[in-house]
């Protein structure tokens, strides 16, 4: 009753003061804390409630590059209640990317997010695992499976088979519109590259064919190929990983309230979860099928080299490599949920990255005829034209100029825009002190084009990575160990890097060694899109068999 009396005695202006007071108090406290913060760095002014989210356009590359341009090589911004440090200079990241198994300061990419729990990936796999012990356990299994030499040999063998299959599809499609003796084909290489990468990941990681190239061929050909696969709709499967990546952001940065109640966001979240269920269902059936197959194979019989097989058998009765793992006190088999998370990370990490890098390679080599000719000369010297072209790992490694092209293209268009690290313990970087809970954003594009480390950084020139030309480029500028971050660095360095190089080199040898390749429109600008990662839009090319 008393409260009612007080309220009814208040005038409209009093109500306004009542509402405004806590707001003003919050704003004052917010800015007091901001301006009095220790170890200040330059950066944009955060606003109450929304912090620096007014800078977000969905394009991470643009955000990080504009911050570097305006505030320098080390600056800060505030988002989701965290202090975030943008680093764009290689010298400053040495400490962060130097692997140490004991120091946990930079061991995590993300902290715990309840959103990732809802998405079913929290504390599992390796890309977004916040639990150090669990991440180490998974990472060691993953590395053991994909970095062993027998995995490389198997990957090269599959590269041979899949490039041959791709060539057959191109030839069939090319011959559909045959106007002279020679066939030719106009096609979007980006789409083929995605399907090749999916087929490759699927077979070498799970031992299952995804037949993505075959499905894509069927879309374009009146004569269909038939195949049997656990992935009924591989077009949906590939799209599923793209959707997973774009939906991930809602679970990482949005509160449960926003995720479940705000109209547009709510729908995106629902779609991402439905997509997740679809991907999990396929991955689960692959695991189940392989477990059953392994049970039926007599003990002592040599098993396939795919990662799924390794993950199932490691630390079980059948395993012969157990000593490696036991040394680190993680002697236990992996559960199906853990295996599924690793398969998800492999597809997630391995399809778009490889396919987009290859598309950029095709664009640049076609734009620069001298580079293209030098590359073809190198390919011809190792894989002479009109021979069997059976790829071998050690021969792929001899392709130094092709390797230089991959480095240079990836320097200009790194697929992964930023390397994130969550600071677990207070630390010092470049003379600045950072508290636990700070988030580091390593600006890959900024480092790849830093004028103190790269002469004429905007110019495409693979010679800067070609050993024979090194002296010319290394004269004035000192290239830092961390000035090229294609595959990241430190303990989180990409475990699929060798597989990716096998795929990229194999595709280059097949495409440019056997075909005349041109861009359909040499004047069309490259369709680059940067959101959470950098991707290549359609890239129509014209191919015909080389004479
Ligand atoms: C050209 C192709 C590729 C590029 C450019 C690329 C790039 C990267 C980068 C920059 C990172 C982050 C590293 C860091 O934070 O320091 C990463 C992590 C990762 N990549 Fe790749 N990658 C490629 C291919 C692959 C393939 C084929 C696989 C599949 C086996 C793969 C699986 C992963 C996984 C699982 C991680 C997370 C590692 C961790 O957090 O410990 N990547 N990759």
Say if residue 541 is exposed, middle or buried (CB neighbours under 10 Å; 0-12, 13-18, 19+). Answer: buried
Query: CB of 496 closer than 6 A to ligand 1?
Result: yes
Domain spans of the chain, in order of start: 4-36, 60-545
Q: Is 210 in the pocket of ligand 1 (CB under 6 A)?
A: no
| Residues near 2 by beta carbon (within 8 Å), at least 6 away in sequence | none
Does the annotation place 52 within a ligand binding site?
no
Helix H or strand E segment including 503: helix 497-514
Residue 393, token pair as written in the block = 């790992």
Asked whether 106 and 440 are in contact (CB, 8 A), the reply is yes
Indicate whether residue 126 lines ligand 1 (CB < 6 A). yes
Nearest protein CA to atom 6 of ligand 1, as residue? 487
499 C-beta closer than 6 A to ligand 1: yes
ipTM of the assembly?
1.00
Q: Select from 159, 219, 198, 210 the least CA-distant residue to 511.
A: 159
**206 DSSP 8-state letter:** I
Residue with token string 């620069």: 368
pTM, entire model: 0.93
Whether ligand 1 lies within 6 angstroms of the CB of 500 is answered as yes
Q: In this structure, which residue's CA is closest to atom 2 in ligand 1?
A: 354
Could you tell me if 44 and 67 are in contact, meaning their C-beta atoms sit under 8 angstroms apart?
yes
Pocket test for ligand 1, best of 107, 357, 494, 505 (most atoms within 8 A of CB): 494
Question: For residue range 461-513, what is the model confidence (pLDDT) as tens digits?
Answer: 999 999 876 555 554 455 788 999 999 999 999 999 999 999 999 999 999 99
> Mind listing the pLDDT tens digit of every residue in the chain (547 residues)?
677 777 777 777 777 787 888 889 999 999 999 999 999 999 999 999 999 999 988 899 999 999 999 999 999 999 989 999 999 999 999 999 988 888 999 999 999 999 999 998 999 999 999 999 999 999 998 998 899 888 999 999 999 999 999 999 999 999 987 777 789 999 999 999 999 999 999 999 999 999 999 999 999 999 999 998 889 899 999 999 999 998 998 998 888 998 999 899 999 999 999 999 999 999 999 999 999 999 999 888 888 889 999 999 886 766 665 555 545 545 678 899 999 999 999 999 999 999 999 999 999 999 999 999 999 999 999 999 888 789 999 999 999 999 999 999 999 999 999 999 999 999 999 999 999 999 999 999 999 999 999 999 999 999 999 987 655 555 445 578 899 999 999 999 999 999 999 999 999 999 999 999 999 999 999 999 998 899 999 999 999 999 8
- Whose CA is closest to atom 3 on ligand 1? 353
Residue 473, pLDDT score = 55
Spatial distance between the Cα atoms of 291 and 304, rounded to a whole number of angstroms? 13
Question: If you measure from the C-alpha of residue 118 to the centroid of ligand 1, how many angstroms do you get, rounded to a whole number?
Answer: 24
539 φψ region: left (φ > 0), alpha (ψ -120 to 50), beta (else): beta
Ligand 1 neighbourhood includes 495 CB (under 6 angstroms): yes
Ligand 1 in reach of 350 Cβ (< 6 A): yes
60-545 belongs to which homologous superfamily?
Answer: Cytochrome P450 (1.10.630.10)
């Amino acid at each position: 009753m008393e409260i009612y009396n007080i309220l009814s005695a208040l005038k409209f202006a009093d109500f306004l003061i009542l509402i405004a007071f806590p707001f003003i108090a919050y704003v004052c406290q917010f800015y007091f804390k901001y301006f009095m913060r220790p170890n200040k760095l330059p950066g944009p002014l955060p606003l109450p409630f929304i912090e620096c989210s007014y800078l977000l356009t969905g394009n991470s590359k643009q955000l990080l590059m504009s911050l570097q341009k305006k505030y320098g090589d080390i600056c800060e911004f505030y988002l989701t209640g965290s202090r975030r440090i943008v680093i764009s200079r290689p010298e400053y990241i040495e400490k962060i990317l130097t692997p140490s198994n004991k120091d946990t300061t930079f061991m995590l990419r993300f902290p715990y997010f309840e959103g990732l729990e809802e998405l079913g990936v929290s504390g599992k796999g390796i890309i977004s695992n916040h639990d150090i012990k669990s991440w180490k356990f998974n990472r060691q299994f993953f590395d053991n499976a994909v970095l062993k030499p027998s995995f490389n040999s198997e990957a090269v063998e599959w590269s041979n088979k899949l490039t041959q299959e791709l060539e057959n599809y191109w030839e069939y499609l090319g011959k559909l519109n045959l106007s002279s003796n020679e066939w030719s084909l106009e096609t979007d290489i980006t789409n083929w590259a995605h399907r090749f990468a999916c087929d490759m990941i699927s077979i070498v990681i799970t031992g299952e064919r995804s037949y993505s190239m075959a499905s894509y061929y069927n879309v374009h050909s009146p004569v269909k190929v038939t195949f049997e696969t656990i992935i009924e709709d591989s077009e949906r499967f590939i799209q599923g990983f793209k959707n997973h990546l774009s939906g991930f952001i809602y679970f990482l940065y949005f509160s449960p309230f926003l995720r479940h109640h705000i109209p547009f966001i709510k729908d995106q979240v629902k779609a991402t979860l439905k997509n997740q269920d679809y991907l999990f269902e396929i991955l689960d059936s692959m695991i189940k099928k392989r477990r059953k197959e392994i049970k039926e194979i007599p003990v002592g019989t040599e098993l396939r080299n795919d990662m799924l097989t390794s993950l199932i058998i490691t630390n079980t009765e059948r395993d012969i490599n157990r000593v490696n793992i036991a040394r680190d006190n993680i002697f236990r088999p992996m559960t199906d949920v853990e295996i599924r998370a690793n398969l998800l990370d492999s597809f997630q990490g391995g399809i778009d990255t490889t396919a987009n890098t290859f598309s950029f390679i095709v664009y640049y080599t076609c734009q620069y005829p001298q580079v293209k000719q030098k590359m073809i000369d190198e390919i011809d010297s190792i894989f002479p034209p009109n021979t069997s072209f059976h790829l071998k790992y050690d021969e792929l490694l001899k392709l130094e100029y092709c390797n230089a092209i991959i480095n240079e293209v990836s320097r200009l268009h790194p697929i992964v825009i930023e390397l994130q690290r969550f600071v677990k313990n207070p630390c010092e970087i470049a003379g600045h002190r950072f508290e636990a809970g700070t988030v580091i954003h390593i600006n890959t594009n900024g480092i790849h084009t830093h004028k103190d480390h790269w002469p004429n950084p905007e110019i495409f020139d693979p010679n800067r990575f070609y050993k024979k030309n090194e002296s010319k480029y290394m004269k004035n500028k000192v290239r830092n160990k961390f000035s090229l971050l294609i595959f990241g660095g430190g303990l989180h360095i990409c475990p699929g890097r060798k597989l990716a190089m096998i795929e990229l080199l194999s595709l280059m040898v097949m495409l440019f060694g056997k075909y005349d390749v041109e861009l359909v429109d040499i004047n069309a600008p490259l369709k680059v899109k940067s959101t959470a990662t950098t991707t290549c839009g359609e890239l129509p090319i014209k191919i015909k068999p080389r004479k």
